[in-house]
Chain A
Amino acid sequence: MCPHCRCLEFEVAQLSGTGTLYSYAVLHHPRNPAFDYPVLAALVDLDEGIRLVSSLVDVEPSGIEIGMRLQVTFAPAAGDRLVPVFRPAEGTR
Chain B
Amino acid sequence: MSRGGARAVIAGAGSTEFSRHAGRTELQLACESISAALDDAGLRAADVDGLVSYTIDPVEETELVRSAGFQEIAFSSRIPYGGGGSMGTLQHAAAAIAGGAAQVVVVFRAVRARSGASRFGAAKTAASPTSSHSGSTAMQWCMPYGVLTPAAWMSLNATRYMHAYGVTSADFGRAVVQLRAYAERNPAAWGYQRPMTLEDHQASRWIAEPCIRLFDCCQETDGSVALVITSRERAADLPGQAVSIGAAATAGLFEQEIASDHYRPDLAVMDGSVALGRRLFDRSGFRRDEMDAAMIYDAFSPILLMQLEGLGFCKPGEARDFVADDNLALSGSLPTNTNGGLIGEGYIHGLNLVLEAVRQLRGTAVNQVPGARQVLVTASRTGAILTRD
Do A and B belong to a common assembly? yes
Where the two chains meet, the residues of A that have a C-beta atom closer than 8 Å to any C-beta of B are: 3, 22-30, 32, 34-35, 38-39, 41-43, 51-55, 61, 66, 77-78, 83, 85
Which residues of the other chain, B, contact A35 by a CB distance below 8 angstroms?
146
Q: Which residue of A lies closest to B137 (CB)?
A: A53
Cα–Cα, bound, A51→B157 (Å): 13
Q: Judging by beta carbons under 8 Å apart, are A32 and B148 in contact?
A: yes
What 9 pairs across the A-B complex have the smallest Cβ distances?
A25-B155, A23-B160, A35-B146, A26-B209, A39-B146, A25-B208, A55-B145, A32-B123, A23-B159
Q: Judging by beta carbons under 8 Å apart, are A25 and B159 in contact?
A: yes
Which residues of the other chain, B, contact A77 by a CB distance below 8 angstroms?
144
Contact pattern, B 125-153, Cβ under 8 Å of A = 1, otherwise 0 = 10000000000000001101111110010
Which residues of the other chain, A, contact B149 by a CB distance below 8 angstroms?
30
Where the two chains meet, the residues of B that have a C-beta atom closer than 8 Å to any C-beta of A are: 121-123, 125, 141-142, 144-149, 152, 155-160, 163, 205-212, 214, 254-255, 260, 262-263, 267
Q: Which residue of B lies closest to A66 (CB)?
A: B163
Which residues of the other chain, B, contact A26 by a CB distance below 8 angstroms?
206, 208-210
Q: Judging by beta carbons under 8 Å apart, are B141 and A53 in contact?
A: yes
Q: Judging by beta carbons under 8 Å apart, are A41 and B205 in contact?
A: no
Which residues of the other chain, B, contact A42 by a CB distance below 8 angstroms?
156
Cα–Cα, bound, A52→B267 (Å): 13
A-B contact pairs, 29 of them (CB 8 A): A3-B254, A3-B255, A23-B157, A23-B160, A23-B163, A23-B267, A25-B212, A27-B152, A27-B155, A27-B207, A28-B208, A30-B148, A38-B209, A39-B145, A41-B146, A41-B156, A42-B156, A43-B156, A51-B262, A53-B141, A53-B145, A53-B147, A53-B156, A53-B260, A55-B147, A66-B159, A66-B163, A78-B144, A85-B145
Cα–Cα, bound, A22→B263 (Å): 11
